[in-house]
Structure 1
Amino acid sequence: MTDQEDDLPAAAFPSPLPLPWYARPAARAWSCAAPPPDARAFHTTLPGYAPTALHELPALAAKLAVDRVFVKDESARFGLPAFKALGASWAIDRILALAAYRTPGATDTRTLRFVTATDGNHGRAVARMARQLGRRVHVFVPVGVHPAAVAAIEGEGAEVTAVAGSYDAAVHDARAAAAAPDAVLVQDMAWDGYEEIPALVVEGYATLFAEIDAQLDAVGAEPPALVAVPVGVGSLAQAAVTHYRSGSSAGRRGGRGTGAALLSVEPVGAACVLASLRAGRLTHVPTGATVMAGLNCGTPSTLAWPVLRDGLDAAVAVTDADSTSAVRELAELGVSSGPCGAASLAGVRAALTGTGSAERRAALGVGPDATVVLINTEGAAANPGL
């Protein structure tokens, strides 16, 4: 345990083991406004759109002592190995529409170029959408992004600049580059003064959770008791909380009881959301190397933070060994996953098994009749160096 756990608020339930863990069951009583439906309608018009697979894994349900386990498989979203295209496509579409609207008399925004920072998947998604629209894009990548991932971004026609520092350092350099009058920053992380575009990215992610609702209903499954989401800066988790804590989800199990418990999962070396929850305020943490490169973020998005603070049920941090073990287990069950995507399984395994799991299950409201959904945010192709 870290010394921080001595300062946990009364609502938190720390694990009796040295597991990086935080829980706040009162989150299920919190509610928020539903996301607008526009993004999902937009996505259905894009070439190649189809809901990504929702795999049921009975063997994994037996291991976790729950009724059903489903994996939302984002390994092939719009031909890319991760979910990020949902946010990038919607944000870029809205940026172009708003740019024309805000410029008096403007009918042509073809000179506008896009800038972003990335640990891999977001940058490639922005580059793919920009290429399809005939736009220029400049992508900043931090230390630790595998050369093959950089090559994939360059293969989309992007200019790529390597930054000798962390993800936060890459964001800093991208912000500076986007100050040019013909450039716009397309980031999924928000900070004071930069929130409109990250909000659009989060709106785009809502499509993923709406698909899950429809897919569970189609197979006669109960709404989930637990949803596990890998976390970097927290934007996907923000979309999850917004979905399940609003009227946009049928998230009441069997029309009764409480809504889904939402679990965020981070690398132990970059657990900025967990640290923020423990501190009760948005907190920066130093980051190091991790195989979960896409989650290697030291500062939560300011837009995501208040939503996660009030709406997350629990947070856990997992090791690289936990994640790579989960990658292998999912592969054996026929699911392609990278270490970021498999983090959701690693986090659920840490929460629901081992010493102290009875207390953690109680905090999450997960019993033997529970349906669990794991968000597999990326496929193995997103991590050629693993």
Structure 2
Amino acid sequence: MSKTSFRSGNPAPRHLPWYVRSAARTWTCAPPPADVRDFHAGLPGYSPTALTELPALASELGVGRVFVKDESSRLGLPAFKALGASWAIHRVLAQRADRGGGPVRLVTATDGNHGRAVARMARLFGQCAQVFVPRGVHPAAVTAIEDEGADVVLVPGAYDEAVRRAADAASVGQGSVLVQDTAWPGYERIPGWIVEGYSTLFAETDGQLRAVGVEAPGLVVVPAGVGSLAQAAVAHYRSRRSESPPAALMSVEPDTAACVLAGLGRGEPVSVPTGATTMAGLNCGTVSSLAWPYLRDGLDAAVSVTDADSAGAARDLAAAGVSSGPCGAASLAGARAALTGDGAAVRRSALDVGPDSTVVLLSTEGAAANPHLDANPHGDEESR
């Protein structure tokens, strides 16, 4: 893809695919529902995931403090996805109960984490699940979904084809509901509930930061696939109108599938071809239609990183005691790309990041979420 440049007209270093929007911190939106975290707190096994401070990374990045939000164990699963799946399924079942509905077959497509979360929550709520899995997913990931009690359908095509197959399957009969974590025109309500579910992650982070004397972060770095988690970050931080100065928000994608970065550079959603990447959960060619307005108006910056960048970040996080898969480690790789190296002074200024800033990195999955790293990584997902 072509290199992007600052919206202000200042060129980014040519070796770093990069975008920045100086007006993002003035944009505001409505907050997520206040009752989402209370719902999650009532689920079996709920506890806030760890927020781990890593002083060595703060020194490396030239900032005051660095914290990693560690999603390697969330409601018994190795990724954050259960937050969105549980809230969305809760809303689906509540709505059907109001209409006198019976049992539900919950249908979805996945490259691993989302499908397993839907299957787990379907079992918890006494429902059945059908999960469409595209090519390239490691058999261990498929087995993990099956072990949750789901009916798994293997699709010989890529992720987009699996989504189409899941949508077709859910449209047959009155007892099926598609629970997909990406939106398109005409299908946005349930993806919106999934995004609302992610708000618990940020509410937890607020409390954990305050407990160590930090009122608000200066920069939050979020891995992005179709943009749903990044949308949740924007909705959380851009709805806090009284916060000054507001946090800067930056998305990170694989350089082989940077649909958010490409769209921001063009000023409109675009689809990009995807290639093989170890960041399988971020291997998305099209941004969610629901997420796009939030990302366009509320993200300060976007950057893309290589598999080697992510692998190095995962190794460094592991050495510091944080289990992180390539998708989760992308946040550290992105922070390194933006805050260090050639042109870093310009990028740091654009993000208003200085030696006293607090940086929060979202590590969205643990190493256990990636059994397919030793395989040929052709999964075309997934909905961060």
Q: TM-score with structure 2 length normalisation?
A: 0.94
Residues 1:146 and 1:37: Cα distance change in structure 2 (over 3 Å): same
Aligned counterpart, 1:193 = 186
Asked whether the equivalents of residues 3 and 14 of structure 2 are also in contact (C-alpha less than 8 Å), the reply is no
Aligned counterpart, 2:232 = 239
Q: How does 1:1-386 map to 2 (within 5 A)?
A: 2-3=1-2, 5=4, 10-11=7-8, 13-101=10-98, 103=99, 106=100, 108-110=101-103, 112-181=104-173, 182-247=175-240, 252=243, 256=244, 258-386=245-373
- 1: CA distance between counterparts of 2:9 and 2:106? 41
Q: CA deviation at 1:17?
A: 3.0
Asked whether the equivalents of residues 14 and 22 of structure 1 are also in contact (C-alpha less than 8 Å), the reply is no
Asked whether the equivalents of residues 13 and 363 of structure 1 are also in contact (C-alpha less than 8 Å), the reply is no
- 2: CA distance between counterparts of 1:4 and 1:353? 18
1:270 match: secondary structure:
coil
Residues 1:12 and 1:75: Cα distance change in structure 2 (over 3 Å): farther
Aligned partner of 1:268: which letter? Answer: D
Q: CA deviation at 1:10?
A: 3.8
Asked whether the equivalents of residues 232 and 295 of structure 1 are also in contact (C-alpha less than 8 Å), the reply is yes
- 2: CA distance between counterparts of 1:235 and 1:13? 29
- 1: CA distance between counterparts of 2:357 and 2:81? 28
1:228 match: secondary structure:
strand
Asked whether the equivalents of residues 224 and 252 of structure 2 are also in contact (C-alpha less than 8 Å), the reply is yes
**1:326-359 deviation line (CA, Å, top 9, x unaligned):** 1100000000000000000000010001001111
Asked whether the equivalents of residues 72 and 373 of structure 1 are also in contact (C-alpha less than 8 Å), the reply is yes
How much is the aligned-residue C-alpha RMSD, in angstroms? 1.4
- 2: CA distance between counterparts of 1:95 and 1:138? 16
Specify every segment of 5 or more residues in structure 1 that has no aligned partner in the other structure, as ranges.
Answer: none
Residues 1:14 and 1:301: Cα distance change in structure 2 (over 3 Å): farther
**1:9-50 deviation line (CA, Å, top 9, x unaligned):** 743654213211111121011111111112111111111111
Aligned partner of 2:29: which letter? Answer: C
- How many residue pairs match? The answer is 372
- 2: CA distance between counterparts of 1:297 and 1:310? 21
With 163-172 and 147-156 compared, the bigger mean Cα shift is at 163-172
**1:153-198 deviation line (CA, Å, top 9, x unaligned):** 1111111122222222211111111111221000110111111101
Specify every segment of 5 or more residues in structure 2 that has no aligned partner in the other structure, as ranges.
Answer: 374-384
- 2: CA distance between counterparts of 1:310 and 1:359? 21
Asked whether the equivalents of residues 6 and 19 of structure 2 are also in contact (C-alpha less than 8 Å), the reply is no
Asked whether the equivalents of residues 250 and 303 of structure 2 are also in contact (C-alpha less than 8 Å), the reply is yes
1:71 match: secondary structure:
strand
Asked whether the equivalents of residues 11 and 26 of structure 1 are also in contact (C-alpha less than 8 Å), the reply is no
- 2: CA distance between counterparts of 1:366 and 1:128? 40
Aligned partner of 2:176: which letter? Answer: A
- 2: CA distance between counterparts of 1:318 and 1:379? 19
**1:197-240 deviation line (CA, Å, top 9, x unaligned):** 01100110000000000000001124111000001110000000
Residues 1:222 and 1:116: Cα distance change in structure 2 (over 3 Å): same
Asked whether the equivalents of residues 11 and 24 of structure 1 are also in contact (C-alpha less than 8 Å), the reply is yes
- 1: CA distance between counterparts of 2:87 and 2:2? 42
Asked whether the equivalents of residues 96 and 109 of structure 1 are also in contact (C-alpha less than 8 Å), the reply is no
2:372 match: secondary structure:
coil
Aligned partner of 1:210: which letter? Answer: A
Q: TM-score with structure 1 length normalisation?
A: 0.94
2:198 match: secondary structure:
helix
Aligned partner of 1:202: which letter? Answer: V
2:371 match: secondary structure:
coil
Asked whether the equivalents of residues 12 and 23 of structure 1 are also in contact (C-alpha less than 8 Å), the reply is no
Aligned partner of 1:205: which letter? Answer: Y
Identity %: 67
- 2: CA distance between counterparts of 1:229 and 1:175? 28
